[in-house]
Structure formats: structure tokens, C-alpha cells
Structure 1
């Protein structure tokens, strides 16, 4: 357990932009600090778990509720869009109502949405439940790093706490795929939702015991219009990209949807920069190079991770004929590799620096995904799946921990909540955009292979392989970004 700051010391908590001094807070005792870390880890585990736990269950969901193939990705995207689009507003709400109230309300909402998803009878009900989970996740996720920053003193104790939190984030997605397979095969796909109920109950007990009920650090109203504009822009962008498999890029519908996304995005930037009194994204924080570089890196990594899990799950079941349990168990090496990469990331950064670590980890992840691009009908699990799983997962685990540490190192501690929101939003929105684009790539390649006379399974394999190759290119571009823009030394916080 990371060592907390000494009891009775004080440190700055989040304060509104422009305030002369941050409000002091009394740091908790060692036992309370450890319990805070357990609480935020449980919340983060559930949030990241649910980003991928449905992947293995997608074929069963589609068959049970009558999903069209083109609509099935919305089970994933409804969560990611609501999560990513509302994350920054969620962080602001936590500052306005207090961290304890935000954690408790987020957990209750997550539990209710999970129950509704488990009892869904139509595709629309299931997608709505997933969106509800995403809204709850947007409230829970930003609090994690913020509570760590105000609970643990700057230095080794905080670095270890951030490392554990990042390891949970990196491992949660891989564990979600495994758990989804076990629940779908042994019980029913509905249990990928019901499993959240005991986690929510445990989180509520922990939060009541550990998160202090203190006065909210900020006053005022949340920037609702900013959240609406930002979420609308992202939704229009993802929807326009996903529909390109049915409507050509030059069609009026596609161009109109993408134009609406650009317009909403511009309005969002203008509103946040010049009009909003309490913007959910104070653009000045991006003056710290670590903040904007880490946000871009996690966006590209998020695309690679979500797309990788999605297409690996479909490949195992639709091409190789694995059942849900076997497909979930197939991700055990990925879980192990992610955990190993997360545990050694701190030592690698200390020895080689952030730039070399992030560049190398992203290259490793890109090579692993490219290796997945060679999967075929006759692929063997040990040689065709385990190898790329380990290579990719170790790279992902190292990158997640190193990038989170870098992202929070170059900003004022009072901006930890905002940067946490940016990192989480980048990962979720990157996953949504990546899945939208690469689903179109896969569908197009599959249709082309089928037109050339390939059998159905061979055509599917060709489509998935194309998606893997393009995903490797995305991660390769992230490696170049890290090579040229990640600072070689830790950055001094930018004071606003």
C-alpha cells in the first residue's frame, strides 16, 4: 500500500481559477489514506472494466435482442461517448457538490443503469443503459486522481499511488474481456451488467468510510452548455464515421454530419475560451507541454486498445469458433502482460526517462497489434494469439502508467482534476473514434474479400486483419509523437 503523507500536514486542494490561494486541507491518517486509495481503485476498476466487459458478450447480445450488425458497435460506443463527452463536466460537478457526494451519486447511478441493462428487452433499452453507465462513469472517473492528489503528499508516496491507479486503469480493460467471457458462457450475457451490483455496494461502503464530507472546493454552476456542445460534437463525429460503411464519404448525409461535428467543435472552443464563466475545459492548462502531449497520446492509445479488444474478441468467436468462455480465457496472457508492464513502468521511467519509455512502449504495442494482423483461419492459439497478446499488453501497461505520471507532472496540483478529466476523456473519445473508423475499414475489407470469392469466415478474417494493420499505424504515429514531443526531463508545474 502506498505510504500516505504524514498525518496533520496540509496541502493545496482544488481551487477555482483565479483564486489567490488554494484552500488548505488536513491530510488523513495512514489508514484513512490507504482506504481512499482502495476506494478510488474500486471505482476505477469498475469504470474501465465496463469499457470492455461487453465485447465477448456482443454476439450473444446481438442474437438475443436482434441487433443489426451495423448497430452492434453502439453497445460499446454508447458507453464510451457518454463517458468521454461528459467527463470534464463530471469533474466540475465533483468540485461543486463535493467529492463524497459525487462518488456516492455516481455509484448509485452506475448500479441503477447496470440493473436496467441486465433486464433490457430491446436494442434501444440496452444502448440507453450503456449510455447511463457512461454518464455515471463520467462522474466517478475524474475523482480518482483528484483524491490521490489531495490525500498523498507530493513525492514517492503520491507517485506510488498514481502508479497503482494507472495499473488498475490499464488492467481493468483486459480483465473485463476475461470476465465477460466467463459470465456469458457460464451464466448469461445479462450478468456482464448484474456483476456491477456487488461492486457498487462495496464501493458505497468504502466511500462512506474513507471519502471525507468536506465543503465543496468550488462555487457556482456547472458549464452545462459546454458539456452539451462537446458531447454533441463528438457524437456527430463518431456517428458520421460509423455510417460511412452505408453512406459514401461524398454523400450529403456523411458530409452534413461531419460538418455539424466541426461546427459544434468550433462553438465549443469559442464558448470555453471566451464566454463561459466557469469552463469545463480551461484551455490555459494546455500550455503545459506534458498536459497536451499526454492527452494526445492517451487518445491514440485509447483507439488502439479498444479496437484491439473489440476485433480480437470477434476474431476468436466469429473466425476461430471459440465460445465465450474460451474467448475470455484467451485474454489471460493479455491480463498478465498488462500487469507486468504496469509494475515495471516506474523503474523503467526512472532509468531511461519518459521520452524513451513512452516511445519504446508504443513501438512495442504497435508491433504486437501488427502481429495480430497476420491471424488467419489456420492460426494456432499459442503461436498466433499468445505472442502478440504479450507483446502488445506489456507495451500498453508501461505506456498507461508512464503517460499518466507525465500528464500530471507538469501542471499545478490544483489542476489535477482537470488533467485527470482530459486523460480519461481522451482515452474514451479516442476509442470511440477509432472503433468508428476501423469498423468501417473492417466492413469494407470484408465486403471486398467476399466479392473476390472468399468464403464468409475468410472474408471476415481479411476484414479484421485490415483493421489490425491500420490500428498498428495509429500506435506507430503515437510513438513518433512521443519521440519528438515528450520532454526528456520532468516539467515544472505551470502556474496559472
Structure 2
């Protein structure tokens, strides 16, 4: 079977719809951050309760990604993508009109469930619409770049919307985007073909995966404050080990209908690529957290100055990832790009590790940012391409869900591990040495990404799309 070679107009529409949905998913992780004090004042949140505006979104998103990815394989790409968009848009509307803390938290949880369906479905749409080659690479590059930009844009956009309109605008902005994407979905995406027999989702696997990830998140958060010797930390960690073991056993029994079919892990780029994605997520995501502390606590930047200072990081990563990297992928082995990008990022983090109190912006922030953002831009797209390379169309959703889960788990593991390693010495103001320790550890981990990336990398891609007759897969969902 072959992946259809879409005409240019439909191909652009698919890219636009997938990227818009992905941007919304990433945007909503951070867009409410600046609006939290306004939400607290407007709805009467308690101090501890306010954190659930964020956690109610991120926990379902992380825990249900595997199930969300498999849904598209079982029930059809357009059907599942449409359902995720509708749920996300409706939840955004309810959250934006919420009149109580409970209703807002429930709406954010519904958003998280919708996002868990959308995030893998956006990638699945691209990998099943475009055959492996330059057009898929260009689509993945744009998808990756917008995903990177969504995080930073969330902080800036959240501040602008809250200041000019209201905290409600940070949620209501999703509604017109979701409606536009729904119209484009029904107009441009092909209908799902009928399937023989009733598809069955691996419910047991989904429950075990969600429980295991939630338990892991709690264990890491608890360890950061109470330590690994704490009895409750150890008890939950032991329960997580049992749940993960049960999940593996359940996946083996399910065979081809498992959330993560074991045949996927026998594809070297998929297995090594996800390992590299886990480690890269443990480095690149926590970077934002520690850079924020460094700029505000050690360099005494205001929140606005901090937000603006992040622009070079985002712009360089997006520009390199969306424009330069796809061109290099037609000439260079993917392993060279991933490995070289990771080593370049490691060099940038080592420079960042030596930022001293009183450093000026150019040498203390912008210089290191240029180096490690260039490295991140070089490795992101070929790594995304690797983890979807050689995957049968029937498993495209599972591969997408696995990649998104790997990235989320890596981010949680990395942040918790780095906080645990530096909590006794992280200052509230003035000193920069502990941040140097953090960025040195990140640099060392990026060397590991380089090794795994070399194993995951694929050969250079053809510079032009292959003729339709030579494509190997076809999407019949």
C-alpha cells in the first residue's frame, strides 16, 4: 500500500490544520501562567488550589497520550482528529466562561483530554498524508518549529491578552482557531474508510499507562521536596514499578492491538530515537525553568525582561528547524545532524554554565542561547523524522503517541532530577554557581543524546518527492 501523494493545495491544508492544532496544544501548557493571579482574584481560588489550573491540563495530557495516539489507528484519523478538536474547543469555551474554580478546573481537565487526542493525531495526519521524503520533512519541520514556538508564545500572549482584555481571553482565543480548523478538516481531509469488524482499544493498557505516569509524576514531585528516603516516596515508587510491570505484561498479551505494539521497538530508528527524545526532553524542557530562575534571581531581570529575553531562543530554534534543517536532511545522514546538533547544544550549555552574576545580556544570555538553540534546531526535525521512519501506516498513531509520551515523561524526569540534585543549593537571589551545576549536567546529558541520535539517524532523504507509484504506504483510515 502507498501513502497518497496529495496535490499541493490539499497538502498545504493538511499541514495548516495539523500545525494549528499542535500550536494550540503547546500554547495551552503555558498561556495561563501569567493569568493565574487574575484567575485567583476573579474566581476566588485558594493558594494551593491555583496550581490545579495548570496540573488539570498537563496530567491528563501526559497520561492519555498513548491511548490518544492509538485511537487514530483504530477509529480513523479524521474522525478522531475532529473529536479532539471539538472537545478542546468546547472545553476552552466553558473554561473561558467559568464562574467558579471547580468549573474552570474541570474545563482544563477536558482540555487536557482533548489535547491528548490531538497531539499524536496532528503528527499522524502528516506521516500518513506524506510519504517519506522532502515534503514530509518540510511538514515535520514546520510542525516541530510551531511546537517549539508555542511554549514561548504562551507566556507572551498570555500576558498581552490578560493585560488588554481579561484572563478569560487566554482560553477563549482557542475557540475561533478550533472552529476554523474543524471547517478545514471536513473540507480537506479525506473521509475515513470503513473498517471490517469492531476496533477494540486496549483499555487495560490505557488505565495502567495513565496510572503509571501519574504515579511517576507524584513520586518525582514528592522526592524533590521530601527526599528519596521518605516512606511515602518509596511506597509510591514501588507501586509505580508494579504498575509498569503490569503494563508491559498487558502489552505483550495484546500483541498487535497493544497501545505500543512491540514490533515498533524492533525498528532501530524508532527505539533509539525515542530514547534520544526522552533524554533530549529531560534537557531542553527544564532549560526554560532554570533560565527563568537564573535571569530573575541571579541577573535581576523583571518578568517582562525575562519574557523578551527568551525571544532569541525561540526564533533561532524555529528558523533553523523550519528552514535550514530540512535542506540539510537532503544531503546529510540524520545521525550526523542529531549528533552534531546535540554536541553544539552541549557547548552552548557549558557556556551558559559559566554565566556569572552581573553578566551583560549579550555574553550571559544571548551568546549561549545562539549556540544551544542552533543545536536544538538542527536535531529536532531529524529526530522527529527518525521516530516515525519505517513505521507501518496501521501503527502511525501508536508511534506518534509514543513519541509525545516520551517527550512529556523526559521533561518531567529531567526537571525533577535536576531540582532534586540542586534543591539544597538553589538560591533565591544573587548567586549563579548552582545554575552552573544545572547547565553542566544538561550539557553532559546532551552528549548522550548525540550518541543515541547517531544510532537513530536515517540516510539522507530524496530532495524531491517520489512519484506516487513508488510510495510504499497508503492511508486507508
Q: Which TM-score tier does this pair reach, normalised by the shorter chain?
A: 0.7 to 0.9
> Among residues 266, 270, 279, which one is paired with 1:291 in the alignment?
270
CA contact (8 A) 1:170 1:397 kept: no
Q: How does 1:79-478 map to 2 (within 5 A)?
A: 79-118=57-96, 129-187=107-165, 189-215=167-193, 219-275=198-254, 278-317=257-296, 320-342=299-321, 343-446=323-426, 456-458=428-430, 464-478=435-449
Q: Secondary structure at the match of 1:445?
A: coil
Distance 1:400 1:274 in 2: 34
Equivalent-residue separation in structure 1 for 2:168 and 2:350 (angstroms): 33
Q: Which moved more, 1:146-155 or 1:38-47?
A: 146-155
Report the Cα distance in structure 2 between the residues aligned to 1:217 and 1:52, rounded to whole angstroms.
39
The farther-off stretch of 364-373 and 277-286 is 364-373
Q: Taking structure 1 as the reference length, what is the TM-score of the superposition?
A: 0.82
Question: Distance between the aligned counterparts of 2:403 and 2:218, measured in 1?
Answer: 22
Distance 1:274 1:170, change over 3 A: same
Which whole-Å CA distance do the structure 2 matches of 1:307 and 1:217 have between them? 43
Q: 1:295: Cα distance to partner?
A: 0.8
Compared with structure 1, are the counterparts of its residues 216 and 38 closer, same or farther at alpha carbon in structure 2 (3 Å cutoff)? farther
Residues 312 and 429 of structure 1: is their aligned pair in 2 closer, same or farther, counting only changes over 3 Å? same
Cα displacement (A) at 1:287: 0.3
Aligned residues: 460
Q: Report which structure shows greater RCO (CA 8 Å, sep ≥6).
A: 2
TM-score by length of 2: 0.85
Q: Confirm or deny: 8 A CA contact 1:364 1:395 kept in the other structure.
A: yes
Give how far 1:403 is off: 0.6
Q: CA deviation at 1:112?
A: 3.4
**2: CA distance between counterparts of 1:277 and 1:120?**
42
For 1:363 and 1:55, locate their aligned partners in 2 and report how far apart those are by CA, in whole Å: 32
Measured after TM superposition, the shift of residue 362 of structure 1 is: 1.0
Instruction: State the partner residue of 1:486.
Output: 456
Q: For the residues of structure 2 that align with 1:188 and 1:472, how far apart are their CA atoms?
A: 40
Distance in structure 1 (CA, Å) of the matches to 2:429 and 2:41: 18
Partner of 1:47: 25
2:469 alignment counterpart: none
TM superposition shift of 1:104: 2.1
Task: Select 1:11's aligned residue among 2, 6, 21.
Answer: 2
Aligned-partner Cα distance in 1 for 2:138–2:115 = 24
Quote the Cα distance in structure 1 between the aligned partners of 2:418 and 2:110.
25
3-state SS of paired residue (2:411) = helix
Uncovered stretches (5+) of structure 2, i.e. residues with no partner: 462-471
Mapped partners of 1:370, 1:181: distance in 2: 31
Comparing 113-122 and 126-135, the one that deviates more = 113-122
Per-residue CA deviations over 1:457-484 (Å, capped at 9, x if unaligned) read 236x55555443333333232123224x
Aligned residues of 2:31 and 2:157 also touching (Cα < 8 A): yes
Change (3 A) 1:297 1:179: farther
Assess, with a 3 A threshold, how the Cα gap between structure 1 residues 266 and 125 changes in structure 2: closer, same or farther. Answer: farther
* 1:441–1:197 distance in 2 versus 1, CA, 3 Å: farther
Of 437-446 and 59-68, the range deviating more from structure 2: 59-68
- Relative to structure 1, the CA distance from residue 193 to residue 109 in structure 2 (aligned partners, 3 Å threshold; closer, same or farther) is same
In the other structure, the counterpart of 1:33 is: 11
Is the partner of 2:425 in helix, strand or coil? helix
Please report how far the alpha carbon of residue 262 of structure 1 lies from its aligned counterpart in structure 2 after TM superposition: 0.9
Conserved? CA contact 1:54–1:192, under 8 Å: yes
Distance 1:116 1:444, change over 3 A: farther
Alpha-carbon shift at residue 353 of structure 1 (Å): 1.3
Identify if the C-alpha distance between structure 1 residues 245 and 425 changes in structure 2 by more than 3 Å, giving closer, same or farther: closer
Q: Is the 8 A contact 2:386 2:457 kept in 1?
A: no
CA contact (8 A) 1:180 1:328 kept: no
Q: 1:200, CA displacement in angstroms? A: 1.7
